[in-house]
Structure 1
Amino acid sequence: MTIVQDPVADFQLPPHNEAALEQIREAKDYESALALAAGGAALVSGGMIHPLGWVLFAMAYKPLYRVEKLARLEKLMTVLLSEFKTQGVQVFPVLKVEDNHPIDLFIRFPKKAHLIISIRSRGESEVVYNEKREILQVKKKNKSGLTTWRPCPLVELSDYERWVTKNRALFGMTSKEVTKTPTAKVLVLWSPTKAAEDHNPHLYSEMGSMKLLALRRKGTAFVIQEEEVTELVRAWLAKYEETK
């Protein structure tokens, strides 16, 4: 006889969807106000009090770019929930990973498709993939030469995928779901950063109507611009449905 165990009664998913989005907004508003206070005087004097609900989101990022990172997360989460909520999407922001940057977004369509998204910007620059060395390099506007992007976002995405697999219980996933569900690793370049347009043709792949830069280091990662996120999620879902 097969014994079916009931789910744990007090199981709770990490903050996601509207509840997490509201915390992101509160964190952004607080950090924006704090940035306007000279030297953080308002915080020191007790003039600003932060709710504990979102403080972990804000503290996950370095102070110098905390506000803009939170604003980008807010923008993407708002669009994703608007487009895919009726399809049962779960959007988990700011998942802390040991000895690494946080996972910006883990997008889960239960038992259908997963996406792990890193949001990155290097100012007014182009991102170039060095095939021989299997690294990303950055070419700054009006400057000669290339600098190596460290830590490499492609390696980080591979680490993130392993972390999600290892910590699948946090999201209520079985080992079967986490291994059988297709996972897209995505590097989202935020304007004014963009990918160079002269990569070799074999580095591109097609998904639906999209032509994607697909870089292979420790697996395949797609490199897209911020405005392409919704289209990529839609194409990834469609690709999975086609294989069923």
Structure 2
Amino acid sequence: MDARNPAICSEDIEIQKNQDEKIVETNTFRKRRNSTSPPVTDEPVTKKIKTDCDKPENEEENDEENIPQPVKRREEAVKFPKLYRLLHENEDITKGLSAKSPGAGKDVATHVATGSKRGYSSQNISTCSSIYKAKSFRNLKLNSGYKRGMKDIAEIDVGSLPDNVKFIDLTTRALRDKYEIGDREINEKFHKFAESHQEVLLVGTVPVSCLKLIKFTGVVPESDISCSDSDELLSDNLEFDGYDFNNSNSDSDW
């Protein structure tokens, strides 16, 4: 058995003890450092630099503002998507439609009751609420000998009408009652004619963008004679469901 020197053994023990203490201190220091430092990963850290091309912080709000908004349409278009006007020969829809006397201030009842009289004009534009009524009106005109003008029809897109164009619906008795005046004869004709045409009045200028031309493609009856301005060629009792065409000419609001 090989015996060691007790002094040497004691020294080895002391050295080993010191080494163990250093290892413990090193491990403790590493733990503290790891607990205060951000975790180390293999992924590279990219620092974003803001440029002028970046979207603003209120990106969501701006996106909502840039969304195309629906085109506002007239509420009257729900009932009447289109209106129809029998055009006079001197009316050109490429220039829009407007009344003969925009500032006349005539009452509605008188306009409807006397609109076919020579020289009468008002601030109202008469239209029919259906293409059927407009064509029926045209047929009566042609069959009565009124060959001059009033053959083409203007289709009006009600939904696109500007807000400053006034819309007067006269298609029912209840809607017309408030426009009566103190003249019984005028009121009777007013109700009769408005009902016959299913009439709607427009007050203001109808822009070109709201108009479409429906060309007359029929044939004027050969038996007709152009009445020009000769009122005597029209029957004394010529009516379209009560509408009097006596003294009718292209100067009327119809």
TM bucket (normalised to shorter chain) is: under 0.3
Higher helix proportion, which one?
Answer: 1
Higher strand proportion, which one?
Answer: 1
TM (normalized to structure 2)? 0.22
